[in-house]
Amino acid sequence: MAHEDERIALLLDYENLAIGARDGLGVVPFDFGPVADALAERGRVVVRRAYADWSSFDEDRRLMARAQVELIEIPQRIGGSRKNAADIKLAVDAIELAYERGFITTFAIGTGDSDFTPLMHKLRELDKRVIGIGVQSSTSALLPPACDEFLFYDRLPGVEPTQAPAPPRRRRGSPRPAPAPAAGPVPTPAPVATPEPEPAPVVPPDPFDVTFSDGSDDTATTGAEERDLAGLVVSTLGGLTRQADGPVLASRLKRAILRKDPTFDESDHGFRGFGELLRHLQDRGAVTLTTGAAQGDPEVALPDDPDADHDAFALLVDVVREIAAAGDPPQLSGLKNRLRKRVPDFSEKRYGFGSFLSFAKAARARDLIEMEWSDDTGDYVLRPTS
């Protein structure tokens, strides 16, 4: 089954996701955008529903409504608890859709609750593909194996934690941690003078922010609401490439972009067609094009340039070492500007990363740097590996 043909029903146990993101990542309110983008790369979402007592999520209600999500109200009884009411309603709707909407090929269930495991099994028994979505710290270990694919919200491009990711919750039967030894009275620290804030660094323009002018005035336009055009194309292509079981065709890429942004039109950016836009990006080294099976529908890929990746990571490591040698280890915020002082046209999007945080995590995964959250600074702190 080709991913572009998937028709997805998205059902969210919203309270589970929102509280998990708040407690585990410090994300408030819940950011639905990364979920929508991840599913847009996998197919067409034909049903969007979120289940909660929405009186407890006033700001979230407005944001989700703007994202065209149908809000299913599960009111809580005053003085009582209806913890499972949303779970039951979600499960009933999923089974009803599976039987009555045969065109739905895939169910995306947003929850970390192991109570949904039988639902996942039943949907797969009905020959439906199942994608789970959950916050890692609040997701049961029983849930991912019950799915065809599981997306940890923490790892989606665009999710920016504002606190250290919480450790996974303690599994039933695992030993409890030993209590901390009793400590004496904690002395009150002497007040420290607050230093004058440093002026914000000037951010060089991102070379992937493609701007054009029609010559009618001196103001360049950036297309649809100044969207980062090249970044949109490259990040979408990167997502499709990770999911693809074959080459990514230009037609498929454009459909995925339109699912992310239905207002997208390459003519807004000065191009006469999507193929012309892709050729422009190929000239800039952002993508590569090869002839496809159908005339006028080329295969699109990210540049296969290991030397470029190596150079980008080497630049990051070098800057981290330089800052660490001068004093305190560098923080993630502001680090991209330091890289651009060395290489003014640096952009992580050129290498298929949706954010600078994703780029830094990739360097950590390659054991090029160490990176951990610091409660003292409220930011990620990086260190060179020994």
Strand partners, 70: 49
Cα–chain center distance at 350: 17
**What structural domains and CATH numbers belong to the chain?**
3-155 (3.40.50.1010), 224-301 (3.30.420), 306-384 (3.30.420.610)
Contacts of 207 (CB under 8 A, 6+ apart): 284, 345, 347, 350
CA distance between the termini of the chain? 46
For residue 213, the one-letter residue type is: S
Count of Cβ atoms closer than 10 Å to residue 281 Cβ? 21
What distance in Å separates the CA atoms of residue 131 and residue 139, rounded to the nearest whole number? 14
Q: Which two tokens stand for residue 1?
A: 């089954």
Q: What is the pLDDT along the chain (386 residues), one digit of tens a residue?
A: 444 468 999 999 999 999 988 887 888 888 999 999 889 888 899 999 999 999 888 889 999 999 999 999 988 765 545 567 888 999 999 999 999 999 999 999 999 999 999 999 999 999 999 999 999 888 898 999 999 889 889 888 888 777 666 655 544 444 444 444 444 444 444 544 444 444 444 444 444 444 443 433 433 334 333 347 877 888 888 888 877 777 889 998 998 888 888 778 888 788 888 999 999 888 887 788 998 888 888 999 887 766 667 788 888 988 888 888 888 778 888 888 888 888 887 877 777 777 788 788 888 888 888 888 877 777 788 888 86
What distance in Å separates the CA atoms of residue 231 and residue 332, rounded to the nearest whole number? 20
Which stretch of DSSP H or E encloses residue 109?
A: strand 106-110
Contacts of 253 (CB under 8 A, 6+ apart): 233, 236, 237, 240, 300
Whether the CB-CB separation of 252 and 293 falls below 8 Å is answered with no
Q: In 3-state terms, what secondary structure has residue 13?
A: strand
Starting at the earlier edge strand, list the strands of the sheet with 106-110: 70-73, 44-52, 7-13, 106-110, 129-134, 149-152
What distance in Å separates the CA atoms of residue 150 and residue 49, rounded to the nearest whole number? 19
H helices then E strands: how many in the chain?
11, 11
